[in-house]
Structure 1
Amino acid sequence: MGFLDFLAKLSVFIPTVNKPVRKPSLYRRLLITAIVLILYLVMAEIPLYGVKTAQQQSQIYLYQVIFATSTGTLMELGIGPIVTAGLILQILVGAKLINLDLSQTEDRKKFTAAQRSLAILFGLIEALAFVLASRYWPYVGNPLTGSEASWAIRIGVVLQLTFATVLVLIFDEMLQKGWGVGSAVSLFILAGVAKTIFWDLFGYTPQLGQHVGFIPNLIQSISNGKLSSALIRNGLPDLVGLVGTASFIVLLVYLQGMRVEIPIASQTYRGVRGRVPLQFIYVTNIPVLLVGIVVSNFQVFRAATQALAGTGNIAYKVFDKLTYYLSPPRGLLASIEDPVKLAVFVVSWFVLGLLFGYLWVEIAGLNPREQADRLIKGGLDIPGIRRNPKAVESLLARYIYPLTILSSIIVVGIAIVADILGAYGSGTGILLAVGIINQYYALIAKERALEAYPILRRVLGEE
């Protein structure tokens, strides 16, 4: 029995959610989705028992945006274990390192079961890493043996974080299996970005001397007769960031609506012609997401090596440099303070974004070969092209690879410029949020159409 089979069998011990016998109405599913969202927000405010508030280390900003985490609460790990498990398995399957055909029902069930077990395993490992590094408590000498917290408290924190990971997994299954709409992973990312943008707009912090939020700071600047101080601020939300946020949201909505259409004809029904639309942003937000995960992991490794071995070891120094030069700047003033850091940041993100965009297209089954196979198996032809996989693949390659390169450059460029301008919620957060909102809009429109015209369910094979 292989490791994947072991993980799949292990999933029987994890609580699961069954599909509803009859799919609830759209409004009921929206209500359940809203309840799941509220539960996430509540969990993000419930502090971990046994953790001292004053000792909590602030979460790394990029890590917090991507994985919807909240420091010192039940959502300390956020959706990180689930996203990491899904990405790793999908990459292994796409690279043919795991022999699974996700178009087959049994293989798809095995993949899902293994992903659930791997997510819990990652959640347990991350919780152990935080606790053994004494993230939440002061320590003397070695954090493993010199922590102020007793082993009972530390084990309790591990159990709390693991339990929270199980709950997030259950929430995600509930929504995806038909009790709600979309996925909890996407919903929690969107909620986290929305919270950040709201704080950037309305953060009221009189104890700091100046307000974090743009609106309170604008009011304070007007009352002090220093309106220019709200135009641009170092590392804090300002007018430049607000304009940048609105502009990039509009731009992303426009770009995500663009399509490149390829003419097709049906072999089964002669004379029936149509077009297959390819998204102009062919790689969606995957390159930026993967680059963000890599950079946030560097930040996590830096914090871990600092806790375990101090700041004098070579590992800490390497991760510290990588973190400094690859982390996004927070605003225009922070960007121009260190031109070398800015140049390294821009070049490295573009290079990594192009690399990840290309690899994702090849691994996720979006390459010309896979797309050509789907067209031919679906009984579709491209007019003027022989019904030959190689010929169809060659034609599709003229569209897909330029779209891959261009869309990777566009999404990474938007994320970079947004961060340089100090966009609210970060450039990565805006990309993720707009993409998720677009998915939800399309999904709700589809569900409304299916409820209005039930016969469409049979046409789409959903009954």
Structure 2
Amino acid sequence: MSTKHNESIIRTVIKKVSGYIPQVEKPKKKIGLNEKFIWCGIALFAYLVMGQIPLYGVTSGPRFDFLAFARVIFAAQQGTLLELGIGPIVTAGLLMQLLKGSELIKLNFKDPDDRSLFTSATKIVTIIVIIAEGSLYGISVYGHLLASPTFIPILIAQLVGTSIVVMYLDETIQKGWGLGSGISMFIMAGVAQGILWSVFSPIPAQDGPVGILPYLIDSATHGDLSHALFRSGQLPSIFGLIVTSLVLLALVYTQGIHVDIPIVSTKYRGFTAVYPIKLLYTSNIPVILSSALLANAVFMGQMLWANYNPENANPLFNIIAQFDPQSSQSPTGGILYYVTSPRTFEHALQDPVKTVVYVIFLTGIVTVFGRLWVELGGLSAKSAAKNLLDADVQVPGFRRSQSSVQTLLNKYIPAVTIAGGIVIGLLASVSNVLSVFGTGIGILLMVDILVNYYNLLIREQVDVHMPKLAALLGRT
């Protein structure tokens, strides 16, 4: 009785609070594909502009980039309005997904009211996370770098305000004004920007232009291409370009590997289809969680080292981690040294033991996180069977019951999850070791997002050219 009473109170609070939060209205009429592209362009342009505006009141940049591990994941730019990027939104989304998958929130997602309630709750949690992260990050990282302590509220307002604008840009795209998700679009643009920069940037470096193509042209002009295959200082090279191309091809290929389970509609006689269980069943979530875990471990190691072992003189602490006092971005010894990626391909060759341990460790924890995410993220055989039955479909030759369909899915989902975790873990770790353009995890995210956009565009074309089929599938 008390549980139902508490649930009723939570529902009431969410409904009342959401009434005070501005909402982006859905389009009153169907938006054409060209107009959706325009809205996507406007949102992306606004996001990129915010990534070029420096934070007001900051006199100098922080000594360490505490979000270096997540710049690609969060599409963030240090020292700008997008210091936090989409971090608070992603954090809140993962939290709500965990609550949904673990069924701590009892909601019927076939009920429009419950779906609306979950959306409102997600927005409220997102705003809370934005305020919390903006305040804590602003005070702890930039508090001592401001011209005056009176600038702290202004700095926090910039971080919080920008994140709220990003939240509404994402909502605008998701409500049907654009294509797909604003968050995915921002991540994809950030990774693509990094790759294009590595290929085409004319900015001078110690041995010539940063971009590999301008460097090749400059080297050919001077008649010396001897250093084009490998360049020092983590600069883009021919080797990096080749590896990046091979990784992209491998990811596109793995995206197409799946097990197809035939299904038939119980609502429309003669309508058949397949339920694909992709090799990358959990997508890139396990890689994101694993990267965040490692980065937080390094961050805690830096904090403890700076306070208790700045001279690397404590034998006990040295087992955990050692850092270079001149540059403490990456560990130079201890356990943390072996579970973090080599900084360059040259470093990987110099210490092959570290390289092998890192690849095995990252692949292992990605596989473990993948298995956990299946259970907590609502992707288990039980959840998949329930979703299929709720969609009014069944598997030919099996009774229309959750237990029989779940038994069938249990033959594939656990095995595919482990195999997919190993494959994506190897791709991510090896890509990081080989210093691909855009980083290993960035490439993984970009390819996954591009494949989703490709499928989305196909569905949009179905809506335009085959409206009767779209109506049959429930898309109009």
Is TM-score (shorter-chain normalized) higher than 0.5? yes
Which residue pairs with 2:359 in the alignment?
A: 346
Change (3 A) 1:56 1:459: farther
Which residue pairs with 1:121 in the alignment?
A: 128
Which residue pairs with 2:195 in the alignment?
A: 197
Which residue pairs with 2:235 in the alignment?
A: 236
Give me the whole-angstrom Cα distance separating, in 1, the residues matched to 2:273 and 2:186.
37
* Aligned partners of 2:76 and 2:86 also within 8 Å: yes
Give me the whole-angstrom Cα distance separating, in 1, the residues matched to 2:120 and 2:24.
12
1:111 aligned onto 2:118: yes
Which residue pairs with 2:150 in the alignment?
A: 152
Deviations, residues 222-245 of structure 1 (Å, cap 9, x unaligned): 345542312123422211211111
Change (3 A) 1:173 1:378: closer
Give me the whole-angstrom Cα distance separating, in 1, the residues matched to 2:130 and 2:181.
19
Deviation at 1:53, TM superposition (A): 4.6
Change (3 A) 1:351 1:33: same
Change (3 A) 1:382 1:454: closer
Which residue pairs with 1:206 in the alignment?
A: 204
1:25 aligned onto 2:54: no
Which residue pairs with 2:345 in the alignment?
A: 332
* Aligned partners of 1:59 and 1:71 also within 8 Å: no
* Aligned partners of 2:374 and 2:380 also within 8 Å: yes
1:426 to 428, 439, 463: 439
Deviation at 1:305, TM superposition (A): 6.6
Change (3 A) 1:172 1:103: same
Report the residue type matching 1:186 in the other structure. Answer: S
Change (3 A) 1:378 1:48: closer
Deviation at 1:61, TM superposition (A): 4.0
Give me the whole-angstrom Cα distance separating, in 2, the residues matched to 1:130 and 1:267.
53
Greater length-normalized contact order (CA 8 Å, ≥ 6 residues apart) = 1
Report the residue type matching 1:98 in the other structure. Answer: I
Which residue pairs with 2:263 in the alignment?
A: 264
* Aligned partners of 1:299 and 1:323 also within 8 Å: yes
Superposed CA RMSD: 3.0
1:461 aligned onto 2:474: yes
What TM-score, normalized by structure 1, do the two folds share?
0.88
2:51 to 44, 49, 55: 44
Report the residue type matching 1:175 in the other structure. Answer: I
The number of aligned residues is 454
Deviation at 1:322, TM superposition (A): 6.8
Which residue pairs with 2:451 in the alignment?
A: 438
Give me the whole-angstrom Cα distance separating, in 2, the residues matched to 1:231 and 1:98.
54
Give me the whole-angstrom Cα distance separating, in 1, the residues matched to 2:302 and 2:162.
23
Deviations, residues 270-326 of structure 1 (Å, cap 9, x unaligned): 666543222232222222122123233445555667889995897995996676444
Which residue pairs with 1:250 in the alignment?
A: 249
Which residue pairs with 2:291 in the alignment?
A: 292
Give me the whole-angstrom Cα distance separating, in 1, the residues matched to 2:194 and 2:208.
18
1:135 aligned onto 2:131: no
Deviation at 1:9, TM superposition (A): 4.3
Give me the whole-angstrom Cα distance separating, in 2, the residues matched to 1:250 and 1:292.
23
Give me the whole-angstrom Cα distance separating, in 1, the residues matched to 2:422 and 2:221.
43
* Aligned partners of 2:59 and 2:147 also within 8 Å: no
Deviations, residues 168-199 of structure 1 (Å, cap 9, x unaligned): 00001000001111111000000110111112
Give me the whole-angstrom Cα distance separating, in 1, the residues matched to 2:250 and 2:141.
44
Matches within 5 A, 1:367-446: 367-446=380-459
Identity, % of aligned pairs? 37
Give me the whole-angstrom Cα distance separating, in 1, the residues matched to 2:215 and 2:228.
7
Give me the whole-angstrom Cα distance separating, in 2, the residues matched to 1:28 and 1:168.
20
* Aligned partners of 1:55 and 1:137 also within 8 Å: no
Change (3 A) 1:216 1:61: farther
SS state at 1:328 partner: coil
Give me the whole-angstrom Cα distance separating, in 2, the residues matched to 1:271 and 1:117.
44
Comparing 239-248 and 46-55, the one that deviates more: 46-55
Give me the whole-angstrom Cα distance separating, in 2, the residues matched to 1:267 and 1:36.
41
Deviation at 1:443, TM superposition (A): 0.9
* Aligned partners of 2:61 and 2:79 also within 8 Å: no
- Where does the alignment leave 5 or more consecutive residues of structure 1 unmatched? 139-147
What TM-score, normalized by structure 2, do the two folds share?
0.86
